[in-house]
């Protein structure tokens, strides 16, 4: 292992002995806790510095070289380009900024926090654009379904396969129903849809927050333009969507629809690429913040992990275009990944050590003073900054046990129905149905709806007299069922691997 400071088995043993010795005295135990937390903070700083450079390498020399990403950069506005440039400069001179006088460091930290907040808003807005661009794409795609050519499907065996798919795993029944519903043409009357929505949302929720999470999800997926900041960030994307949505499909030829379908597909890809860029830049910023907030300077971190200096030099050579070999880049990135992983394992070992402490060993009030609380809060902030690999998703039933006021729920449902009703008035029929179809994959399924699911599937497929379109939807549903099974199989496999590895640890 080419590591700077590594906790050997002997050191673990000594620390464990020190832990048990410290349990005899609150003062000693308090001091022991401070030492462990200090070690953890140092490790997180090392991880953050390496990850900042690793992510910057990925951003500049992998992401920005993808064809789709290069095309997406056309939609970048001046503010986002400016943020990219500043972050790039800070990464290049992170040592200079970290050892600069306090006023300069504070200004850099303030700028990084402002950029972080702005980018998090941008991620939300891009989701709104994604929702709207997908609707454009789906509407054009639906218009071209008549030209679909495929093998005929026996209808009765098709309905049997849908029934078997839904009932295959009882715990996944609702999820599987939603997979089917979101693949079908929308086939409900306005009154029946609102009845479906009301019954779905009147299901039990542990708190108002979990109910509200469902409501916001429904509203923003029905109309992406409801996302705060829509049109202000990346305004050229908003203009492009507006232009495509204003087209009268009845006046377009098949060739024109194909052209606009391609345009909308490219737009969806561009939005996805921009989100990938923003996530990557945010990851760099979060790690830079940890480096600036930390007590250790970069020279101290290099003493603990000499590879940091080597990787910074590698990155600077990259920036000067002195490295042309993709193999050399790949080799350095892999080595960095490996060293980061080993430091994460080191952090895990300290956590295990802390896990051996029983709170009953001492009166915690005697042990945990203000300074320890402050250190723990700093570690918690570091953890929040590091845990940015994915978007934050609010899970239902995770908010405690406060009862939900039934009248508040009913009023909120009325508001959702009113919102959908009002927005629908301004939409063409194609867009309204596309949006309602998407909601069928988002709204919780009302109790006992599975008993009438096949009837609904038949009605939905019979809506269009075109046999080719009906056949197209049947093939779509079959593919979706196969894909669901395959993804579920992979998910179960990986969950099993993780569980087994935890058991071994």
- Proportion of the chain above pLDDT 70, given as a percent: 87
Q: Please give the DSSP secondary-structure letter assigned to residue 465.
A: -
Token representation of residue 447: 């109790």
- How far are the Cα atoms of 243, 248, 258, 400 from residue 142, in angstroms, in the given order? 19, 14, 11, 43
Nearest CA to 345 out of 53, 48, 43, 49 is that of 43
* pLDDT, position 403: 58
398-417 pLDDT tens trace: 334 455 678 888 899 999 99
Q: Lowest mean pLDDT of 33-42, 138-147, 374-383, 401-410, name the range.
A: 401-410
Q: How far apart are CA 289 and CA 494, in angstroms?
A: 33
Q: C-alpha angle 365/368/372, rounded to 5°?
A: 160
- The pLDDT tens digits of the residues spanning 366-377 come to 666 677 788 888
238 Cβ contact list (under 8 Å, min separation 6): 129, 230, 231
Give the list of residues 6+ apart from residue 124 with CB closer than 8 angstroms, or none: 227, 228, 229
Closest CA to 98 of 290, 343, 286, 380: 290
pLDDT digits (tens, 9 = 90+) for 267-314: 999 999 999 999 999 999 999 999 988 888 888 999 999 999 999 999
CA distance linking residue 29 with residue 26, whole number of Å: 5
- The pLDDT assigned to 398 comes to 39
Sorting pLDDT into bands at 50, 70 and 90, what band is 392? very low
Contact by Cβ (8 Å): 211, 397: no
At 6 the pLDDT is: 60
Q: What's the rounded mean pLDDT across residues 374-383?
A: 83
pLDDT of 16: 75
The predicted pLDDT at position 292 comes to 87
Instruction: Please give the pLDDT value at position 28.
Output: 80
Question: Where exactly are the structural domains of the chain?
Answer: 152-226+401-503
Predicted pLDDT at 223 = 96
pLDDT of 4 strictly over 90? no
Q: Confirm if 271 and 69 have CB atoms less than 8 A apart.
A: no
User: How much is the pLDDT for 37?
Assistant: 86
End-to-end CA distance of the chain: 21
DSSP per-residue string spanning 259-318:
HHHHHHHHHHHHHHHHHHHHHHHHHHHHHHHHHHHSSS-HHHHHHH-THHHHHHHHHHHH
Structure tokens at 250: 């009845």
For 6-36, the pLDDT digits (tens) are 665 666 677 777 777 776 677 787 788 888 8
pLDDT band at 1 (very low <50, low <70, confident <90, very high): very low
The overall average pLDDT reported for the chain is 85
Could you tell me the sign of the dihedral formed by the alpha carbons of 196, 202, 205, 210, in that order? positive
Nearest C-alpha neighbor of 90 from the set 100, 103, 77: 100
Confidence of residue 474 (pLDDT cuts 50, 70, 90): very high
336-367 residue pLDDT tens? 999 999 999 988 888 887 776 654 455 555 66
Cα–Cα distance for residue pair 435/132, rounded to 1 Å: 9
Secondary structure tally for the chain: helices H, strands E: 21, 0
Q: Report the distance separating Cα 51 and Cα 341, nearest Å.
A: 10
Question: pLDDT tens across 434-465, in order?
Answer: 999 999 999 999 988 989 999 999 999 988 66
**Distance in angstroms (rounded) separating the CA atoms of residues 63 and 41:** 30
Given a cut of 60, whether residue 257 has pLDDT beyond it is yes
Q: What is the mean pLDDT of residues 75-98?
A: 88
CB 178 within 8 A of CB 441: yes
Per-residue model confidence (pLDDT) at position 310: 94
Confidence of residue 393 (pLDDT cuts 50, 70, 90): very low
Predicted local confidence at residue 55, as pLDDT: 94
Residue 321 pLDDT greater than 60, yes or no: yes
| Least confident among 205-209, 266-270, 326-330 | 205-209
Q: Say if residue 505's pLDDT is above 60.
A: no
């Amino acid at each position: 292992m080419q590591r700077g400071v590594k906790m050997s088995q002997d050191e673990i043993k000594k620390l464990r002995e020190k832990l048990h010795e410290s349990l005899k005295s609150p003062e000693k135990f308090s001091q022991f806790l401070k030492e462990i937390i200090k070690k953890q903070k140092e490790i997180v700083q090392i991880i953050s510095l390496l990850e900042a450079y690793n992510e910057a390498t990925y951003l500049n020399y992998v992401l920005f070289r993808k064809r789709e990403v290069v095309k997406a950069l056309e939609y970048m506005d001046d503010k986002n380009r400016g943020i990219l440039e500043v972050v790039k400069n800070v990464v290049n001179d992170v040592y200079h900024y970290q050892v600069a006088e306090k006023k300069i460091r504070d200004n850099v930290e303030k700028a990084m926090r402002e950029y972080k907040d702005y980018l998090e808003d941008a991620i939300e807005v891009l989701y709104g654009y994604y929702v709207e661009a997908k609707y454009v794409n789906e509407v054009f795609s639906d218009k071209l379904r008549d030209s679909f050519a495929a093998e005929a499907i026996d209808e009765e065996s098709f309905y049997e396969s849908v029934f078997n798919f839904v009932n295959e795993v009882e715990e996944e029944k609702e999820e599987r129903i939603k997979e089917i519903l979101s693949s079908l043409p929308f086939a409900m009357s306005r009154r029946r849809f609102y009845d479906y929505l009301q019954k779905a949302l009147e299901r039990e929720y542990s708190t108002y927050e979990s109910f509200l999470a469902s409501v916001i999800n429904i509203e923003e997926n029905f109309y992406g333009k409801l996302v705060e900041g829509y049109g202000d960030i990346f305004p050229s994307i908003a203009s492009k969507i507006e232009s495509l949505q204003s087209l009268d499909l009845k006046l377009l030829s098949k060739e024109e629809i194909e052209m606009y379908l391609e345009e909308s597909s490219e737009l969806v890809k561009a939005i996805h690429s921009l989100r990938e860029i923003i996530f990557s830049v945010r990851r760099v910023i979060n790690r830079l913040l940890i480096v600036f907030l930390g007590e250790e300077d970069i020279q101290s971190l290099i003493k603990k992990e000499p590879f940091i200096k080597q990787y910074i030099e590698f990155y600077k050579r990259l920036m000067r275009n002195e490295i042309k070999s993709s193999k050399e880049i790949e080799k350095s990135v892999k080595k960095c990944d490996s060293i980061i992983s080993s430091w994460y394992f080191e952090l895990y070992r300290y956590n295990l050590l802390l896990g051996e402490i029983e709170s009953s060993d001492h009166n915690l009030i005697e042990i945990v003073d203000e300074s320890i609380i402050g250190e723990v809060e700093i570690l918690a902030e570091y953890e929040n900054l590091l845990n940015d690999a994915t978007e934050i998703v609010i899970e239902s039933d995770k908010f405690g046990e406060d009862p939900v006021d039934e009248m508040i729920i009913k009023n909120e449902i009325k508001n959702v129905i009113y919102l959908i009703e009002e927005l629908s008035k301004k939409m063409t029929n194609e867009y309204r149905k596309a949006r309602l179809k998407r909601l069928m994959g988002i709204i919780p399924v009302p109790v006992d709806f599975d008993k009438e699911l096949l009837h609904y599937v038949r009605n939905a497929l019979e809506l269009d007299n075109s046999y080719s379109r009906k056949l197209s939807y049947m093939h779509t549903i079959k593919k979706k069922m196969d894909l669901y099974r395959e993804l579920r199989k992979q998910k179960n496999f990986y969950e099993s691997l993780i569980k087994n590895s935890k058991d071994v640890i």
